[in-house]
Amino acid sequence: MMPELRAAVAAEWTKSWSVRSTWGTLAASAVLMMMVSAQLGIAHENNNTNEITTDDTGVTTAGAIAIESFAMMQLVLFTVAILTVTSEYANRSIGWTLQAVPVRGRVLAAKAAVLAPVMFVAGAAMCLLGALAARPLLGDWGTLDGLAYDAFAMGVYSAAGGVLTAGLALVLRSTATTLTALFVLLMLLPLMLGAAGSPAADFFPSTAGDHFMSGDTGEYPLAVALLIVLAWTAAAALAGLRLLKARDA
């Protein structure tokens, strides 16, 4: 790595961990993940043991429960990535960021270089925490099979999603707008298109990510699922970079 980029990464790292919002949002994500996973674990166990037989889904893995929870609360985790960009616009400290590192591409690269590993570890940890919370509640109806892959895949998806989010945040600059856009992109649109039976629903980052994490090859191979996620990530990052270069700070 070029020394200039390494220095920029060090600065972004220092900035990330010197504000409470990073710690707070990560902690909130972890707590929420465990709560939702526990809830889903109870529901799954209940479905299999209650009088009704039509809702029985049989034995599942704790990892699958975690992946299902993650689909619902991923926005909370991605808020970490939103804030690394939008907080700087909100309090205008973006001025210092660009004075220190005037090469816009390097600013984005440094932010991505911090976000990707942090989000990878956070995503993998969330998977493990979710599984941990769900496993005892699943009773006889859950296993820990494939958890290593699930955690790895959730880490990869989170890392890509974090960079995607940062790119989107560079385009939109405001926390509320970015969060709304992300909600529409990751949840609302794929859900609506899916309900309407449109095949386009499978090409959104969240649905492709879900296929990738659950090892679901029904629509396309896992490599393609990952490529779809990465393509969205690259597109958002490039859009963010373009506007970062073109607009006044």
Partner 1 sequence: MITLRNLTKRYGELTAVDGLDLEVRAGKVTGFLGPNGAGKSTTMRMVVGLDLPTSGQALIGGRRYADLRWPLREVGALLDAKAVHPGRSVRAHLLALARSNRIPVRRVDEVLETVGMGKAARRRAGGLSLGMSQRFGIAAALLGDPPVLLFDEPVNGLDPDGVRWVRQLMRSLAAEGRTVFLSSHLMSEMQLTADQLVVIGRGRLITDTPMRELIAGGSSVSAVCPDPAGMAALEARLPGARAVSRDELRVPGVTTRQVGDLAYELGVRLHALRENEVSLEQKYMELTEHAVEYGAAR
List contacts with partner 1 (CB under 8 A): 3-4, 7-8, 10-12, 14-15, 18-21, 87-88, 91-93, 95-96, 98-103, 246, 248-249
46-81 core/surface letters (b: 16 or more CB in 10 A; e: else):
ebbeeeeeeeeeeebbbbbbbbbbbbebbbbbbbbb
| Nearest approach, Cβ of residue 249 and partner 1 (Å) | 4
Q: Which is closer to partner 1, CB of 11 or CB of 43?
A: 11
Q: Which is closer to partner 1, CB of 44 or CB of 104?
A: 104
Both tokens of 38, joined, read: 């526990």
Burial level of 28, CB count in 10 A (0-12/13-18/19+)?
middle
CB 40 within 8 A of CB 134: yes
| Nearest approach, Cβ of residue 158 and partner 1 (Å) | 24
Q: Which is closer to partner 1, CB of 19 or CB of 148?
A: 19
Q: Which is closer to partner 1, CB of 20 or CB of 58?
A: 20
Q: Which is closer to partner 1, CB of 10 or CB of 200?
A: 10
- 10: CB partners within 8 A, 6+ apart: none
Q: How far apart are CA 249 and CA 245, in angstroms?
A: 9
Q: How far apart are CA 44 and CA 27, in angstroms?
A: 26
Q: Which is closer to partner 1, CB of 88 or CB of 210?
A: 88
| Nearest approach, Cβ of residue 11 and partner 1 (Å) | 3
Q: How far apart are CA 103 and CA 245, in angstroms?
A: 9
Choose among 148, 139, 130, 118: nearest CA to 39: 130
| Nearest approach, Cβ of residue 88 and partner 1 (Å) | 7
| Nearest approach, Cβ of residue 152 and partner 1 (Å) | 31
| Nearest approach, Cβ of residue 87 and partner 1 (Å) | 6
